[in-house]
Structure 1
Amino acid sequence: MKNLFYLMFIVMIIAGCNGIPSSNSDSFGNPVGRVIVDDEGYMMQIGEFELKDDDVTIRNLNTPDKYGLAEEFETLTVEKGDKIKIEIDQNPPSIIVNQENEDGTIDNIEIQNNEITLPMEKGYYIYEVIAKYNEGKSTFVFDLNIE
């Protein structure tokens, strides 16, 4: 009986150290963002984020720049003028989308109903998506080849 107690105690300690999620962890944690192309979802690379909830602050401010994040994302090939959807967990009240063109210029892209319309020009584009919450903000990156 004593051995069973020790075994249960060790399991509880290991579980606590590994951060097994609690029942409310879905409401607050690392944000997740997806880009939807042809009804297929692709997880965007998360950059910096900061979320605050009462006494807890979660931050990740030491990430690769957007070029490094774009390199980690599997570049998608899409058609010019297509519409793609942006989905971000925790439903941020504000989403800003910046498009970097091949010549290095950056355009702010209009987002409506979580959708953006892709350029009519062929080329390589990097997108930075900034989600602003009442409790903080998060940045996501993905890249596209437009044919």
Structure 2
Amino acid sequence: MKKIMILVLSVCISGCSSFTRAQTYEQAKGKVTIDGKAYSMIIGEFEWVDENSEARKLNPININDLADQFKTVEVGKGDKLTIDIEQNPSSVIVDQWNEEGELQAIELNGNEIPIPIKSGLYIYEVTAGWNEGKISYVFDISIQ
């Protein structure tokens, strides 16, 4: 009886640990680099499904609340702004909101985003897509 209990216990322990490993999911990190300095973007919504895991966070999130979690970066009109996302996404879409709340789709040139010419605060949402899912990132800048 003691041998059976040890066997059952060892099967449960090994089964539980592999279940935990299979449920582990780490989102691809995204950085925005401005004038040579990198900043980690805030992760908003995500959805990911592969053979080892499934993870979702699709609750509607206020873009302003996410931007508040990012330390606004002061940007000059001549600075360079680039986006770098781990795991080589197959698509990247960038949306920009200005202080008046107007939304504009931004076209990437490689992984570079043009800096607006008008001074003010701008919030960006970057949506990266892979075969397994998508992740949205948020950051904001202030132009002098």
> Could you say which TM-score interval applies, normalised by the shorter chain?
0.7 to 0.9
Contact kept, 8 Å, 2:43 with 2:137, in 1: the verdict is yes
- Give the aligned partner of residue 7 of structure 2: none
- Give the aligned partner of residue 110 of structure 1: 107
Runs of 4 or more off by more than 3 Å in structure 1? none
Aligned counterparts of 1:63 and 1:95: Cα–Cα separation in 2 = 20
2:33 to 29, 33, 36: 36
- Give the aligned partner of residue 92 of structure 1: 89
- 1:49 aligned counterpart, secondary structure: strand
Aligned-residue identity in percent: 43
**Root-mean-square deviation (CA), in Å?**
2.4
Q: How does 1:44-83 map to 2 (within 5 A)?
A: 44-54=41-51, 56-62=53-59, 64-83=61-80
1:140 aligns with 2:121: no
Opposite residue 91 of structure 1, the aligned amino acid is N
- 2:48 aligned counterpart, secondary structure: strand
Moved more, 110-119 or 54-63: 54-63
User: How much has 1:29 moved relative to structure 2?
Assistant: 2.7
Q: Which runs of 5+ in 1 are unaligned?
A: 1-8
Contact kept, 8 Å, 1:75 with 1:144, in 2: the verdict is yes
Q: Which runs of 5+ in 2 are unaligned?
A: 1-9
- Give the aligned partner of residue 127 of structure 1: 124
Contact kept, 8 Å, 2:49 with 2:55, in 1: the verdict is yes
The alignment covers a number of residue pairs equal to 129
Aligned counterparts of 2:142 and 2:106: Cα–Cα separation in 1 = 17
User: How much has 1:41 moved relative to structure 2?
Assistant: 0.8
